[in-house]
Chain A
Amino acid sequence: MASVSEMYDVGWEEMRDKLRKWREDNFRNSEQIVDVGEELICEHASKLGDDVWIIYEQVMIAALDCRRDDLALTCLQELRKQFPDSHRVKRLTGMRLEALERYEEANKHYDAILQEDPTNTAARKRKISILKAQGKSAEAIRELNEYLEHLCHYCCWKCQFILALFLETLCANILLYNFHSYGKAAFCLEELMMTNPHNHLYCEQYAEVKYTQGGLENLELSRKYFAQALRLNNRNMRALFGLYMSASHIAASPKVSAKVKKDNVKYAAWAASQINRAYKLAGRGTKENKCSVKAVEEMLESMQITMS
């Protein structure tokens, strides 16, 4: 099989830079990381300088995703040699055990870290991930709640993590409309928005949760946050569609005043024109996309009928 450098005509520096970009963007394209990283480590390790250690870590985690225990072990052993007492490496040892589904042993490693360093968030996150992997979502959420209560301030990953857990639990729940869970997801997003006011993604996700919770008040809140997300990033298509949908539903509601109805018809009309424009821009030139443009136009028109 051809090497990565042969197939894509790249040198080792480009491969190293690519790995860095994937690290920074937090991509989980594990197959590609293994392909590029393995070659880089095997043939150019000496050229990487101190970068080699973080690359070993990145490749090891990707190797676990791809069931390449041979590669994962190689990386782990190099890291253990270099950093014998490190908690960070201990965590990686735990992750390998998790990948092999040896959860009891993994937990022992994490407990050992937490004994020496009770504030180690990475170890706590892994313990909760184990509960999640075992399908014990309710327990995982309980642990997270407890942990949150003991902290002085919220930090980003926890909120994102709880959010993801709650949203996932929603899918798996016996009761679909578990308002309790949507409420918690909304709470997490509120915290995230407070600490990251310029992040359009949090605004937009918050709006989606509110929309899903339903009811007129939530719909109006959802519309406001879709609009806010658009102000922060006017190319966020989800926010644009969301604005259209929420405004349309509000306008169609029998409970609103004539003024509110009129305003929302205006918002929806604006959103519709922006959506059409975005599709026309995207569809320029290709035959297939012209079909999409037409479908969107028709869809928007069909919703107009239900509004009036």
Chain B
Amino acid sequence: MPIQLTSQAYCKMLLHAAKYPHCAVNGLLIAEKPKDKKKESQNHTVLCVDCVPLFHGTLALAPMLEVALTLIDTWCKENNYVISGYYQANERTKDSRLNQFAEKVAARISDNFNEAAIVMVDNSRLTISCFEPIVIIYDHHENKWKSREVTVDAFEDWHEAQKITSALLESRCYENLIDFDNHLDDLRNDWTNPVINKSVLDLC
């Protein structure tokens, strides 16, 4: 059913958007693989424990997206994760509309995971203090993507998420965030972002 975001997932999304303020950015949401097949169909919240930042700038070209999806899917399988959603921040500040590109990617993800969600970042409300959640979450109902009201329930622990994101934005941690584009530029760049993950853990 509805997804929930951990602090790590939320803050890495925002760090990605903050690193490239003049570009559109996108990425994948990662959840732990449900141990029980039955649980997936019950009213069971999906906890997105992490996200993988993908691209910045040009989002709409197929080949690298395919590579990323396949590679990250393989990595997920090894770590008992599953790709559970897709996030996107548009190029223009005032534009946080869901577009067909996002829907197409999410449809692809839905092939593997029924409850896939789309998270759009509302750029116009991105601030260092992060005093309110700035994401819009879309769930798939009856062949349409519908947004739902985002409250603190959409987060595993909103106050923690807010505190950590704010601290990392302030310390300009986003300069060290690695997305898949950075990885393709230099393979040594690790898109799992172990350094940032550690910073998040340290602040918990």
Cβ A176 vs Cβ B100 within 8 A: yes
Cross-chain contact of A303 among B59, B70, B184 (Cβ < 8 A): B70
Cβ B187 vs Cβ A237 within 8 A: yes
Per-residue interface assignment for chain A, residues 254 to 274, with 1 indicating a CB less than 8 Å from any chain B CB and 0 otherwise = 000000000000000000000
Chain A nearest CB, measured from B141 CB (Å): 21
Would you call B90 an interface residue if the criterion is a C-beta within 8 Å of the partner chain's C-beta atoms?
Answer: yes
Q: How far is the CA of A296 from the CA of B194 in the complex (A)?
A: 19
Would you call B172 an interface residue if the criterion is a C-beta within 8 Å of the partner chain's C-beta atoms?
Answer: yes
Cβ A241 vs Cβ B67 within 8 A: yes
Q: How far is the CA of A136 from the CA of B56 in the complex (A)?
A: 21
Chain B: interface residue total (CB-CB under 8 A): 38
Which residues of chain B are near A299, meaning CB under 8 Å? 70-71, 73-74
- Nearest B residue to A211 by beta-carbon distance? B63
Known contacts A31-B172, A170-B101, A171-B24, A212 near B70 by CB under 8 Å: no
Size class of the contact patch on chain A: 35 or more
Cβ A208 vs Cβ B101 within 8 A: no
Known contacts A172-B99, A173-B99, A295-B74, A282 near B188 by CB under 8 Å: yes
Cross-chain contact of A245 among B67, B90, B99, B190 (Cβ < 8 A): B67
Q: How far is the CA of A294 from the CA of B79 in the complex (A)?
A: 12
Would you call B111 an interface residue if the criterion is a C-beta within 8 Å of the partner chain's C-beta atoms?
Answer: no
The listed residue with most B CB atoms (<10 A of its CB), out of A172, A173, A176, A296, is A172
Which residues of chain A are near B90, meaning CB under 8 Å? 171-172
Cross-chain contact of B22 among A28, A295, A296 (Cβ < 8 A): A28
Would you call A50 an interface residue if the criterion is a C-beta within 8 Å of the partner chain's C-beta atoms?
Answer: no
Cβ B24 vs Cβ A135 within 8 A: no
Which residues of chain A are near B131, meaning CB under 8 Å? none
Would you call A302 an interface residue if the criterion is a C-beta within 8 Å of the partner chain's C-beta atoms?
Answer: yes
Q: How far is the CA of A174 from the CA of B104 in the complex (A)?
A: 12
Which residues of chain A are near B190, meaning CB under 8 Å? 288-289, 292
